[in-house]
Amino acid sequence: MRKSDLELLEPINMRPVTAKDIEHLYHQWTRELDGYREIQVYEAAAQSNWPLMSGAWNQPFPLPPRVSTSNDANRSNSGLTVVGSHGGIDPTSVTAHLTAGFHQEGWPLLAVDLCPTNTLRLYLGMDKADTAGLATQWLSGEPWYEAIYRGARGWDFLPFGEAGPAIDRFAASLVERPGWLAEDISRLDVPDNFRVICNCPRHPYSLFEEGIRLAQTILVVLEPDPLSLTAIPSLLSDLLRLGVDERQILFVLNGFLPSRQLDRDVRNNLQTSRLQSRLSPIPVHQDEFIREALATQKTLFDYCPHSQAVHDFTLLRIWLKARMNPVQQPDNPESRSA
Amino acid sequence: MKGSVWLHAALGLNPDLPIRAQWSRLLFHAPPTQSGARDWSEWFALSFPHIDFHRFGLLDVPRFLIQLLWLSLVIPPQNRHPSLPLQTIRIINQFHRRSWRWLLATQKRLEPLFQPITRELESAGAHNILGYPLLRYSAYLLSGTLAFIVITTPFDLGAQLLYVALLWGLATWLRRIPGDVITLIMIVLSLTISCRYFWWRMTTTLDWSSGMDITAGLLLLFAELYAFLILLLGYFQVAWPLHRKPQKIPVDLSLWPTVDVYIPTYNEPLPVVKPTIMAAMGMDWPRDRLNIYLLDDGRREEFRSLAESLGIGYIIRNDNRHAKAGNLNNALSLTQGEYIAIFDCDHRPTRSFLQTTMGLFLENPKLALVQTPHYFFSPDPFEHNLGTFQRVPNEGELFYGIVQDGNDLWNAAFFCGSCAIMRRGPLQEIGGIATETVTEDAHTSLRLHRLGFDSAYIRFPQAAGLATENLAGHIGQRIRWARGMAQIFRIDNPFLGPGLSWAQRLCYGNAMLHFFSGLPRLIYLTIPLAFLVFNAYSIYASALGILLYALPHIIHTNLTNSRIQGHHRYSFWAEVYETVLAWYIARPAFVALVAPHKGRFNVTSKGGLIDRNYFDWDISRPYLWLIGLNLLGLTFGIYRLIWGNQEEIATVWLNLAWVFYNLLVLGVALGVAGEIRQVRKSHRVKIDLEASISLPDGRFFSCRTLDCSEGGIALSVTKSLQLAPGDHISVNLPLGLQEHSFPARVIIHHPTILKLQWAAMPLAQEKTLMQCIFSRADAWLHWGGLEKNDQLVANLREIFALGIQGYQRLLHSAVPYAGRQPRRRWLGRLNYWLPHNPSWWTEGSTP
């Protein structure tokens, strides 16, 4: 495992989450009164007249046939996979900030980047010239875990690597032996409450499938545009086919701007849909600070701790913690020794 | 070497200290703390805090010498031995604290013992055995006989002392134990003591032989009996508040009925009415079943066009007969909704209003009315002029916090004119809103109850309004209430006529009798003069007798009321509220009782501002007269103390104390009459919400809201932003599950506080903004939750301070130059020369 040779940074400047925050959030989520109905949201959703957004995405659909895999038992890995609702959405910034946040909270974790764009490393402090990663390591026949990189803040992550045209060979290995990465990771010698946070692409399918296998909870990143809504059914059917528990599919709206009518309407539509109970009550705002922080190669929490994005990611983290299953203890001690 | 050790020992100095510390110890009696931590010049500066050594002038020489003398003479407080009285007080305090601790500990230990008992007692009331009339009535008879014996048995003073001491001990112990049963026991104790007092008062303290004595005696007795009657009815009313919970409404939206919302207005300005309409439009109810109507008796064009552009109904009529009641009745004949919600034009409903109230209607088909509290987010004249806003419960809080909730138990919660919803059927059955009196609200619900309909009260505010902004307006409103209630008492007396249960009669009776408090209050404020000036004995008894009978009566009443009213009315404040109104409501109430059809409806004006400080001489004239009379009493009393009959000294002291208390309460009334400038056009509402601001460059900052109004918003930010006054930014506020963005302009930017003014926005956006501010379901739920408990002594101290402040304000207004400024200047001049305590005295402990 290589270590970054950056000098020791100051402790991360992150707004601590207080009990009051959580209480406030719950207050907001459960509404103030028992049985209270937010009629206005329903009416606003009904009034919003965007033909592309109305339609089948909100309807339950027949369960697709499940693909049984050899390593279903390995799904005990209680990690989190972050995936965009369709090809055009890059979930990397959400993954990166959740990684930083959960790490700050003291979770032992490994962030895995399966996106061939290989950008998670830039958020997490790797040198932009360094092209090593999972794919390159695998292609050169070295053990993949040697590509794990420890960021300046102490978080561990596995970059994808710049594989070039050889990426197809890597993908093919996953088609050949689905789930090998998940299996390998479960053999690592790690603490009990270890988690994987996976940055998962929507395409190619083999990488998508591998990413979904890595974790129990799936966080779908939506954007407040009609394409996200229309992409939901196909994504859901893919996820269910892979055997994901529907209750473990969570949604978050990324890039929200309250001043835009369409953004508000998409949010209303989601909040009144059948996905309502699994939608994060806090959207991540389209905050310029996210881009600026990346450009300055600092984490957002360092770059501007007062920004709304920091606040959003913090609350998203609390919500995820509440929604994710508690860590399951591994049954047989053998699986812990790699 | 040895010599220096000796010298040190002789002078009592520590040889290890540096020389300068030894010197200062010799000079100043007390060693500077934390020796060695500072250098000599710093000690010097700290010892002469009022002298600037960098600009040492000629005048500073004598000041320096005075200070030096002072330092060498005076012992710092932590080295001083406490004086004897101070020590005694400390010991008493310690004893008090310890005994309290012991008492509380004992109570805690005994709690498991008491819990089953109170539980048993609570369930005993519902026991079958009480269903047998014979048993029940013999229980009544037994307790009645026992009570009669306890009340009427004559005691000598020693026995009475023992008796009241025992009861007082019991009450002070009990009042800390929670539970409604304990409250009932406290009430029984209080009533026993009070009845005993009145028995004693009527049998032994009326001197029928002297005309003066008996006149004063009967006058005072009348006032006391009136207060006792109100106390009795009050106990009955509030003994067991219902705390009704909202009922769930059906999931199926098609079962939700149609609602008409009436917003009557007459002469209120548009900025007051507009947010109300917008908030009403934000109520969470299916849009096709919610109709909002603006009932404009002023027939103003701007209101019509506003209603049109907002898409709500606008109803006017040709005349203004029967004022608000007529206005509502006119609308009632024109609309069709199954339910009528009524909001005064300044009462902004929350979005949950209909959902919290409607469940009750759907559950009980006989329910005709659901009332919610009137909450005011702006200070009333008491709160504004005395500075007690959100610190001391205001006048209305007792009524909405306790009394209505108590009424609700007896199915006697009544209509208060606003923030209520009624079923159309019953309302039409009684012929619409009652128009015979000027308090149409209470009269309407009285009629509903007479026809056998039910009413309900929900204790948490679902709307908020503006309080009257000055004392004159406040008094005008109360005069109308007093007149109206007296009118109902005369023409539709709740004690007479069909249809009411006895409990409802008592509840309505108390509400009406309450407004006759003017005359008794005036008697209380003047009766000590009867003895001090005319030597007439209003209570023909020794001072000791009065102390042993009257004082326990007062103390128990206060203890019990303090327990019952706790958070909603602090002790002694009832006196203040009544004193302010006494003169003004005494006459109208009695006139209305005699000639119920005199007088007109006067509109309470709201939302105005007071552009300068002024003292309302017209309003305060009666207080000045009463103060004059009490001062006369004071003069006579002091004269009698010095030159009067020595046997009566104790009685003189008693009456002087009474006069003094009267003067204090009147002083507070004066304070209320001193109107303080109030220029803000819109009242800020304290809101603590997570919000964000977005700058034109796309950056978002998270922040919290501090307060918000129609005009602007104050935000607390964690970082100083690069903003200048005049910059345009957006504020994003949550509204339930939604979030909205509003344009604003920077006014002031402190490092952590950002004050913004709303920029111009389209009407639809303004509507959303008003809903963000006023419509949140939990916006006013903090009401009635003052964290501080009622503390008798602290309240008395506060009344004392406010009384003094009232006189100061009077002095300031009467003699413009006698105010604080010149005195302060004079004090400042003196202060220049006086020695000052060195800073290190207060710095903390000795090493």
Mean pLDDT of chain B: 84
A23/B contact by beta carbon, under 8 A: no
Residue A318, both tokens: 């609390």
Q: How confident is the model at residue B367 (pLDDT cuts 50, 70, 90)?
A: very high
Q: Which of A11-20, B64-73, B656-665, B783-792 comes out lowest in average pLDDT?
A: A11-20
Assign A69 a pLDDT band (cuts: 50, 70, 90). Answer: low
Q: What is the mean pLDDT of residues B18-37?
A: 54
**B174-208: pLDDT as tens digits:** 877 777 788 888 999 999 999 999 999 999 888 88
Parse chain B into domains and list their residue ranges. 1-76+815-847, 84-126, 142-239+517-599+614-675, 258-516, 688-774
- Active-site residue, B297 included: yes
Residues B315-329: pLDDT tens digits? 999 988 888 999 999
Cβ density class B190-222: b for 16+ within 10 Å, e for less: bbbbbbbbbbbbeeebbbeeeeebbebbebbbe
Residues in chain B: 847
A280 touches chain B (CB under 8 A): no
Which residue of A39, A268, A305 is in closest CB contact with B286? A39
Integer Cα distance of B230 and B234 in angstroms: 6
Report, as an integer, the average pLDDT of B332-352. 93
CA–CA distance, A97 with A254 (Å, rounded to integer): 12
Closest CA to A194 of A330, A73, A331: A330
Kindly state the tokens that stand for A269.
């539509």
Q: Looking at the complex, report in whole angstroms how far the Cα of residue B720 sits from the nearest Cα belonging to chain A.
A: 10
Decide if pLDDT at B341 tops 90.
Answer: yes
Answer yes or no: do B355 and A37 touch at CB < 8 A: yes
Mean pLDDT of B442-460: 93
pLDDT tier at B130, thresholds 50, 70, 90: low
Q: What is the mean pLDDT of residues A86-114?
A: 90
Residues A193-203 have a mean pLDDT of 89
pLDDT of residue A13: 40
Pairing of strands B685-686, B674-675: unpaired
Model confidence pLDDT, tens digit, residues B422-436: 999 999 999 999 998
- pLDDT value at position A319? 82
User: Does residue A289 sit at the B interface (CB-CB below 8 Å)?
Assistant: yes
* pLDDT of B36 over the 60 cut: no
Q: Does domain B258-516 have CATH number 3.90.550.10?
A: yes
Q: Which tokens sit at B794?
A: 């602290």
Average pLDDT over residues B501-520: 93
Residue with more model confidence, B60 or B604: B60
CB B433 within 8 A of CB B427: yes
* Pairwise pLDDT comparison (A330 vs B347), residue with the higher score: B347
Single out the catalytic residue among B380, B405, B441, B790: B441
Q: Which residues are registered as beta bridge partners of B705?
A: B715
* C-alpha span between B721 and B701 (Å, rounded): 9
Q: How far A260 CA lies from chain B's nearest CA (Å)?
A: 9
Residue B690: list chain A partners with CB under 8 A. Answer: 24, 311
Residues of chain B in contact with residue A269, where contact means CB-CB under 8 angstroms, are none
Dist. CA B503–CA B505, nearest whole Å: 5
Smallest CA–CA distance, residue B246 to chain A, in Å, is 9
**Domains of chain A by range and CATH?**
15-53+75-328 (3.40.50.300)
**Which segment of A76-80, A333-337, B153-157, B389-393 scores lowest on mean pLDDT?**
A333-337
Task: Pick from A52-56, B625-629, B703-707 the range whose average pLDDT is largest.
Answer: B625-629
Residue A323 clears pLDDT 90, i.e. is over it: no
Q: Answer whether A40 sits within 8 Å of B700, measured CB to CB.
A: no
Would you say residue A273 has pLDDT above 90? Answer: no
Following DSSP, what letter does each residue of B274-329 receive, concatenated?
Answer: HHHHHHHHTSSS-GGGEEEEEEETT--HHHHHHHHHHT-EEE--S--TTHHHHHHH
Closest Cα to residue B216, out of B432, B564, B540? B540
Give pLDDT, residue A35. 57
For B452-488, letters b (16+ CB in 10 Å) and e give: ebbbbbbbbbbbbbbbbbbbbbbbbbbbbbbbbbbbb
How would you classify the pairing of strands A195-200 and A149-150?
A: unpaired
The three-class DSSP label of residue B387 is coil
CB contact under 8 A, A259 and B719: no
- CA of B713 vs chain A CAs: smallest distance (Å): 18
Residues of B in contact with A256 (CB under 8 A): 739
3 state SS of B770? helix
Asked if the model's pLDDT at residue B785 lies above 80, the reply is no
Q: Is the pLDDT of residue B595 over 90?
A: no
Domain B688-774 has CATH 2.40.10.220: yes
Query: Is the pLDDT score of B606 beyond 70?
Result: no
Position A32 confidence tier, pLDDT thresholds 50, 70, 90: very low
* pLDDT-derived band at A65, boundaries 50, 70, 90: low
Would you state the structure tokens that stand for residue B200, as one six-digit string?
A: 């004693």
C-alpha distance from residue A65 to each of A68, A213, B72 (Å): 9, 17, 96
Q: What is the pLDDT of residue A67?
A: 60
Q: What is the pLDDT of residues A304-319, one digit of tens each?
A: 888 999 989 988 988 8
Q: Answer whether A285 sits within 8 Å of B700, measured CB to CB.
A: yes
Q: Do domains B258-516 and B688-774 have the same CATH topology?
A: no
φ, ψ dihedrals at B314, nearest 5°: -135, 115
